[in-house]
């Protein structure tokens, strides 16, 4: 009887230790989810639309998938995209890189997150990052 009790206590202790050393699971953050994106140039013309899917968050680093659909009034340097994207979050400020694997290509979105909406400016990333080329808004989809 003593051996059984000792074995059970040993298993319980081992289980408790394993639970303490497991990597923490990502919690579901209200930031995660799908956002519908629209962007205009500085003169107010619609330049691109798309979606942002924020799938994971670790500390202040977000990863997901972004789709950009170039509108007919878009400048030539705006391209259709369907790729992985990343963002950094600092307080309410959120900055997206739509080509995180490249040093000098793609769109950058710099915005502020407020009540399920991200408002900000978009830029072209290159050897030198452009000034703001327009404004964007991304609205979180309600499930």
- The model carries a pTM of 0.75
| pLDDT at residue 128, rounded to an integer | 60
Residues of the chain below pLDDT 50: 20-26
Distance of alpha carbon 5 from alpha carbon 11, whole angstroms: 10
Q: What domains lie within the chain, and their CATH numbers?
A: 33-140 (2.40.128.120)
What region, left, alpha or beta, does residue 85 occupy, with left being phi > 0 and alpha being psi -120 to 50 degrees? Answer: beta
């Amino acid at each position: 009887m003593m051996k059984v009790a000792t074995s059970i206590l040993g298993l319980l202790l081992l289980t408790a230790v394993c639970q303490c050393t497991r990597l923490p699971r990502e919690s579901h953050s209200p930031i995660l989810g799908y956002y519908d994106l629209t962007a205009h140039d500085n003169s107010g013309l619609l330049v691109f639309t798309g979606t942002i899917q924020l799938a994971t968050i670790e500390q202040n680093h977000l990863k997901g998938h972004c789709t950009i659909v170039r509108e007919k009034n878009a400048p030539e340097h705006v391209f259709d995209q369907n790729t992985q994207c990343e963002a950094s979050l600092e307080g309410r400020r959120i900055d997206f890189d739509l080509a995180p694997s490249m040093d000098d290509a793609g769109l950058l979105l710099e915005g502020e997150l407020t009540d399920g909406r991200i408002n900000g400016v978009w830029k072209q990333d290159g050897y030198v990052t452009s000034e703001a080329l327009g404004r964007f808004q991304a609205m979180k989809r309600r499930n």
